[in-house]
Amino acid sequence: MGKFSGFAVTLRHMFRKPVTTQYPKEVREKPVRFHGRHVLNRYPDGMEKCIGCELCAAVCPAKCIYVRGKDNPPGNPVSPGERYGYVYEINLLRCIFCGLCVEACPTTAITMSNMFEFSVTDRNQAIFTKEHLLVGEDGKPNRKLGVEADVTADALEEAGGWMRATAPGGNANFKEEVLWSPEAGVGTRLPEGVADNHPRDIGADTRSPEGRVEQ
Ligand code: SF4
Ligand code: SF4
């Protein structure tokens, strides 16, 4: 009887739809909370959200973020804060994609996209600098040529920096009125619900519609 039950299991699975996908021709839909590579976001007016505070680097358990802040040039500020992220690097070979840097960031400057297709032949190529991490003026992520796979314009649109897994509310599908700055160029991503008096909401109240801090 034992050997026939083994055959029965085989037969049952022979007529089931295979669960394997033929990557890269077929790509599975990514979960809402997918942790892909990071992006550095801008405000709708194009200003950089990073204020060079280095909190992301301090919290990173893999010690793979290097930030150096610099005072904003008085006549031509890069960010609305006193300082901006002058140097920003992430070594993605060391990153464990935990998302703690996203949680720590006071301005939602760093978020994780759903881009994951990159391969390197030299460990230096795994260091993504500000040049690659900072989204363009249109709000769309940049691609690191020669390292990241060719992606369609639609995929780039979809990969906009907002990662929803950051909300303290914990519900990845929760949709609510946008309480803080939307991404530039790629439309508004609805955030999750956040706890009352969450610092991100308080931060949003101090900004004018143009994205600059009101004095
Ligand atoms: S995702 Fe985690 S390991 Fe990767 S850079 Fe952020 S804090 Fe560090
Ligand atoms: S990404 Fe956020 S936490 Fe990191 S230095 Fe910039 S503002 Fe600070």
Structural domains present in the chain: 31-205 (3.30.70.3270)
Give the ligand whose atoms come closest to the C-alpha of residue 94: 1
Q: Is the peptide bond before 24 cis (omega within 30 degrees of 0)?
A: yes
As a whole number of angstroms, the distance between CA 53 and CA 107 comes to: 10
Examine the pLDDT at 156 and tell me if it is beyond 70: no
208 C-alpha to center of ligand 1: Å? 31
Ligand 1 mean position, distance from CA 39 (Å): 12
Confidence band, pLDDT 50/70/90 cuts, at residue 203 = very low
pTM across the whole model: 0.72
φ/ψ of residue 69, rounded to 5 = -85, 160
DSSP category for residue 4:
H
Instruction: Please report the pLDDT score of residue 7 as a whole number.
Output: 87
What is the number of other CB atoms lying within 10 angstroms of the CB of residue 72? 20
- Nearest atom of ligand 2 to the alpha carbon of 40: 1
pLDDT the model gives residue 82: 92
List the residue whose alpha carbon is closest to atom 6 of ligand 2: 50
Q: Which of 56, 59, 70, 129 has most ligand 2 atoms within 8 Å of CB, for mutation?
A: 56
Residue 98: per-residue pLDDT:
93
pLDDT beyond 50 at 39: yes
